[in-house]
Chain A
Amino acid sequence: MSVARLEHFVLACEDEQALAVADERRQMSFGQLREAVLAVAGGLRSLGVAPGDRVIVALPNTVSFVISHFAVLAAGGVSVPCDPKSTAQSVAGLIADCQPVLAIAEPSLSVHFAGLRVVVDGPVLAAANDPAVQNCTACSTSTGAAEVAGATEKSPAELGTSGLIAASLEALERGPGLDATLGDDDESLAALMYTTGSTGLPRGVRLSHRNVMAAVANICEFVNYSKADREVVTLPLTHSFGLGHLYCNLRSGGAVMLHNGLTRPGRVLKSLRDFGATGFPGTPLGFGLLLDQFSSVLGDLGKGLRFSVINSAALPPERTEQLRALLPKLEVFVYYGLTEASRTTFISLTKAGPSMYRSVGTPMKGVQVRVVNGELQIKAPTVTQGYWRNEPETAHAFDDGWFRSGDLGRLDDDGHVFLTGRLKELINVGGYKVNPLEVERVLAAAAGVRDVAVAGVEGLGSKTSETLVAAVVAGEGFDADACLRFCAEQLEQYKVPTRVVLLTAIPRSATGKVLRPQLRTAVAEQVKE
């Protein structure tokens, strides 16, 4: 199979009958997926999506996400995955930054997309007064807008307060599709993956088809993916970890069963057995939860697993031992990577043995790693070209062509990388990176807060994740529960501190900058008490 771009994983499939992707509602073979992708791509073109245009894909882990993401790419657009649990404020920041022409989202999310056309994954009312909708071939067919709709016109006022619903994804799937011509432009942007920048504001990591293809080829070779593989993916497809596993399976002719996290562990664990899963990627936090609470069930239903790729935080050696004891046939892989430099190093802990349990592996093919003043720096075809229309952040991120990871580490004589700390102030909450500045900005506006800072505390509630704790200098009227509720109204759940401790002063430098190490110490002492 000749593939130059990511959508070719689907469009150039070799076995049309083979299962490609499934969720709890539906499943699709490669042939069905290709037809759906081409149909939706045609619909997107009709709705005005031109090459290079950004399209937000704000869907949970579903077959619809997979269709939408690849359809955007097939239409020549740039996919902008967005966590469907994002707050309106986060979505607004993302829209302002990437200026998308369209969003694909669940109906309930359309309120976040004021002034933007939205293709919804679910029943909708179409806005028949939108010229683009009228020109949309899929929307004007009998299976399109008229059906999508019950076509009710909306007033300008209504359109201004929520996204203008252009069509349903289902209708687009049934519309006429693009030709399956395989282009070879691998330099163009495939996706903007949003992360939190150094200022706490979102920044779009520019990933070209070539960047991602390089990483995916490396992973497939290292893990030895084949068409016999089937993975149960609970990791969000809106993040590079989860999306990478989708790519790897489709590239190899394997299949993916999608779930939305481990919220309903019974379904996930049963699908390991029922789907015939050979792979089950996850985070240390997720595996910690399964090992601590549902170990016997994981051991029973997961006995067919060939491998697990684990990332997002360091995997404690005792967890590796637990997994290997529970599932002796399982090969445990760990890697180190960032959204900006996907899968930089990789290691099979199973093959490397206990002496390497604290390593994150050796650099992948074509990847160079160096240590400068303790910081890991990376140069590779997998490394981003920079941040979307953000020259200051881009300039700051590179040192003479080497990407500055912000992670502290060391290399041993054999090239194994060991992480030793962090230069950046990000807090790792179960694999989600949280910039304390973003949380502090919200908390500072809560009633009775005179000063505030946020710290990540290890070993509090979870052995494998930091817990967000808000340190508050309280004034009149401060109420901790009300403060956290205020925070929860404006931030995603993982950004909401789980505890509040009261300090008499936040440790700050002469210029007012929070002294993070001192803060962590002060907070840790308070938490112990």
Chain B
Amino acid sequence: MKETQSVNSSDEVVRARLRALTCKTLKIEPSVFHDALGAGDLPQWDSIGQVTLLQAVEADLGLVFDVAEAIDIETFNDLVAAVVRAQATAS
């Protein structure tokens, strides 16, 4: 139980950090942002924006996405899940 709470808490930290990073990278007004957003939902979140975002996340968090996994990241929630998985693998 303790472990689950710890993971959830960690997820929330990652989620908050990624929210800020996504808004900054894609120039999204925080008031417009919500976690269900994904590539194609906003004009600036196009194919270039998506790649730019993935690169920004890799640089900011010091991780490298597996290419086969990166192509399936479509939404912010996907991104959070991928980061959590990547961090778990790294640790």
Using CB atoms and an 8 Å cutoff, list the residues of chain A in contact with chain B: 85, 260-267, 269, 286, 289, 293-297, 430, 461-462, 481, 484-485, 488, 492-493
Inter-subunit contact A293/B70 (CB<8 Å): yes
Inter-subunit contact A294/B43 (CB<8 Å): no
Inter-subunit contact A493/B46 (CB<8 Å): yes
Q: Any chain A CB within 8 A of the CB of B88?
A: no
**Could you say which of B44, B71, B73, B74 contacts A269, with CB atoms under 8 Å apart?**
B71
CA distance A140 to B89 in the complex (A): 60
Residues of A within 8 A of B90 (CB): none
* Given A263-B39, A263-B45, A430-B48, 7 further pairs, Cβ under 8 A: A261-B40, A263-B50, A264-B40, A266-B72, A269-B71, A296-B67, A297-B71
Nearest chain B CB to A266 CB, angstrom units: 4
CA distance A264 to B38 in the complex (A): 9
Nearest chain B CB to A115 CB, angstrom units: 26
Inter-subunit contact B71/A261 (CB<8 Å): no
Residues of B within 8 A of A262 (CB): 47
Residues from 49 to 67 in B contacting A, C-beta threshold 8 Å: 50-51, 54, 67
Residues of B within 8 A of A296 (CB): 67-68
Inter-subunit contact B44/A266 (CB<8 Å): no
Nearest chain A CB to B33 CB, angstrom units: 14
A294/B46 contact (C-beta < 8 A), A263-B39, A264-B39 known: no
Residues of B within 8 A of A263 (CB): 39-40, 45-47, 50
Q: Any chain A CB within 8 A of the CB of B85?
A: no
Nearest chain B CB to A466 CB, angstrom units: 13
29 contacts between A and B (CB under 8 A): A261-B40, A261-B46, A262-B47, A263-B39, A263-B50, A264-B39, A264-B40, A264-B50, A264-B74, A265-B47, A265-B50, A265-B71, A266-B72, A266-B73, A266-B74, A269-B71, A286-B47, A289-B51, A293-B54, A293-B67, A294-B67, A294-B70, A294-B71, A296-B68, A297-B67, A297-B71, A462-B48, A485-B27, A488-B44
Inter-subunit contact A289/B47 (CB<8 Å): yes
Using CB atoms and an 8 Å cutoff, list the residues of chain B in contact with chain A: 27, 39-40, 43-48, 50-51, 54, 67-68, 70-74
Nearest chain A CB to B19 CB, angstrom units: 18
Closest to B47 in A: A262
Judged by DSSP, the binding face of A is helix
Residues of A within 8 A of B50 (CB): 263-265
Residues of A within 8 A of B74 (CB): 264, 266-267
CA distance A430 to B48 in the complex (A): 10
Number of A-B contacts (CB under 8 A): 54
Residues of B within 8 A of A265 (CB): 47, 50, 71
A293/B51 contact (C-beta < 8 A), A263-B46, A266-B74 known: yes
Closest to B68 in A: A297
**Could you say which of A261, A297, A461, A492 contacts B47, with CB atoms under 8 Å apart?**
A261
Inter-subunit contact B27/A492 (CB<8 Å): no
Nearest chain A CB to B68 CB, angstrom units: 6
Residues of B within 8 A of A267 (CB): 74
Nearest chain B CB to A503 CB, angstrom units: 23
Residues of B within 8 A of A85 (CB): 43
Closest to B69 in A: A266
Closest to B41 in A: A263
**Of residues A265, A297, A484, which shows the largest number of chain B Cβ atoms within 10 Å of its Cβ?**
A265
Residues of B within 8 A of A261 (CB): 40, 46-47
Residues of B within 8 A of A485 (CB): 27
Residues of B within 8 A of A289 (CB): 47-48, 51
CA distance A297 to B72 in the complex (A): 11
CA distance A297 to B51 in the complex (A): 15
Nearest chain A CB to B41 CB, angstrom units: 9
Inter-subunit contact A260/B67 (CB<8 Å): no
Inter-subunit contact B40/A260 (CB<8 Å): yes
* Nearest 7 Cβ contacts at the A-B interface: A266-B71, A493-B43, A262-B47, A263-B40, A266-B72, A263-B39, A263-B47
CA distance A481 to B28 in the complex (A): 11
CA distance A260 to B74 in the complex (A): 13
CA distance A488 to B45 in the complex (A): 13
Nearest chain B CB to A500 CB, angstrom units: 12
Inter-subunit contact B67/A488 (CB<8 Å): no
Residues of A within 8 A of B68 (CB): 296-297
Closest to A85 in B: B43
Nearest chain B CB to A106 CB, angstrom units: 13
Closest to A492 in B: B43
Nearest chain A CB to B82 CB, angstrom units: 12
Inter-subunit contact B43/A488 (CB<8 Å): yes
Residues of B within 8 A of A266 (CB): 71-74
CA distance A481 to B71 in the complex (A): 30
